[in-house]
Amino acid sequence: MVSKSRVDIKSRGKRFLKKVYYAFLELLLRAGANRLVFILSEMTIDRLQSETDAGVFWLRSRDAINGTTVLPDMNHDLRTRFCSRPFEWLEIGAKDLHLCCSAWLPTPIGSSDDPVAAWSGESAEKIRRSILDKSFRYCSRLYCPYIVKGTLPFDNGVVPQTSARPRIINLSYDFSCNLSCPSCRTRPFVANSAERAGLDNYYSSKVAPLLSSGSVVNVTGSGDPFASKHFRSVLRDLAARHGVMIDLQTNGNLFDRRAWEDLSLSGSVRRVRVSLDAATEHTYSYVRRGGRFARVLENLAFLMTLRASGQIDFLGIDVVLQARNIDEVPGIIEMARTIGVDKIRFNTIRNWGTYSAKEFQKESIHSAMHGNRARFEEVYRSGIFSDPIVDQGNIRQAIGLYSSNIDDDHDVGHA
């Protein structure tokens, strides 16, 4: 077993190296080596998506190359803005807890072992102070869609009170899924019965005590709610609780009328987001490996009946933009319009550790270093993303443009 002091030394060593690295980037930037800083920060992000400091250097060098600060208020200066998330929102992952989507605010507030203590602990307070002191220093300028879109609300001067328990809870601690999408995992994973017993115990001892009437629970960003036997039993429990509302993020393959009825979800679901990523069976079978395109379309038709009858408030489609689907963007938007969903949200692909840096460079068509980046720009500049049904997520940051056609959707969703 590795001793605690050795782990401490290792992590202190890493922190020191990081400091030296970013001091070096700062020196380069001051010396006017903007392109070099841009390339180095982009390479850092490709390898380690959680590096929010690299994101800031990426933006500063990009703006220096452009000779202008493209988003003068939103990129570097959030002094007039506020975000309520860290005061009411808790993401429960398999290992760590976060006060926002961990893809946008990667610094954890503690281990998942004790959500109650972490919620009011010093790490959580440190992050809340960063919102109040307007540094937003833990938030990613590249990936938080509210920063990118410029839709963070203006600060009204009222000092927020942190609620005793989180009002919105995001359950992302079971990775079970029926698919193995290349952007998410290298092989399928479904929890076995011993693992499920542990998850069931965790839910009843650590998660359920956080719930109260008025709670909103999002399931899930880590897998699929309907492919997880654990989350299916959680959904049954949540649906039976008075005043608790459910948001669902799903690949849609297993979310049919039968699941809706079996889990007694009627009256308990607020919002549903379905990850689609393709307009053709061929592309879908690659980007949503293991899924069935025709089945998702059938299930989306069923979900539209729930939306049309007012049983759910919102139905959205999520798309991870990548080299494989860039040519299908018009088709995906057209499909979303035909189905009648409320919004179709685009976000750039990220490397969650399933790609080598080289593989990721091949997929990340939004990257300034991608060989076919011109195609991404061409699709963007065609104006197709200005359609009112489109939520541009974080893609505008990749293009470096600012448009006033933004929506104000400040919801629970994931990147």
Residues in touch with ligand SF4 (CB under 6 A): 83, 85-86, 100, 104-105, 136, 139, 144, 146-147, 152
Angle 207-211-216 (CA atoms, 0-180°, nearest 5)?
Answer: 105
Query: Which two structure tokens, joined as six digits, stand for 104?
Result: 């946008």
Q: How far is CA 176 from CA 31, 110, 329, 354, in A?
A: 49, 23, 29, 16
Question: Closest approach of Cβ 146 to ligand SF4, in Å?
Answer: 5
Report the residue number, 57 or 104, with the smaller CB distance to ligand SF4.
Answer: 104
Report the residue number, 51 or 224, with the smaller CB distance to ligand SF4.
Answer: 51
Q: Would you call 380 exposed, middle or buried from its count of C-beta atoms within 10 A (0-12, 13-18, 19+)?
A: buried
Question: Closest approach of Cβ 159 to ligand SF4, in Å?
Answer: 16
DSSP string, 329-343: HHHHHHHHHHHT-SE
Q: Tell me how long the chain is.
A: 415
Contact status, residue 274 vs residue 296, Cβ threshold 8 Å: yes
Report the residue number, 144 or 395, with the smaller CB distance to ligand SF4.
Answer: 144
CB atoms within 10 A of CB 47: 14
- The torsion angles phi and psi of 347, rounded to 5 degrees, stand at -135, 155
Question: Closest approach of Cβ 260 to ligand SF4, in Å?
Answer: 30
Locate tokens 């607020």: which residue? Answer: 270
Question: Closest approach of Cβ 374 to ligand SF4, in Å?
Answer: 30
**Whole-angstrom distance, CA of residue 140 vs CA of residue 43:** 16
**Whole-angstrom distance, CA of residue 20 vs CA of residue 63:** 23
Question: Closest approach of Cβ 26 to ligand SF4, in Å?
Answer: 23
Question: Closest approach of Cβ 105 to ligand SF4, in Å?
Answer: 4
Phi/psi region, residue 393 (left: phi>0; alpha: psi -120 to 50; beta: rest), is: left
Angle 307-343-253 (CA atoms, 0-180°, nearest 5)?
Answer: 65
Question: Closest approach of Cβ 9 to ligand SF4, in Å?
Answer: 31
Report the residue number, 56 or 333, with the smaller CB distance to ligand SF4.
Answer: 56
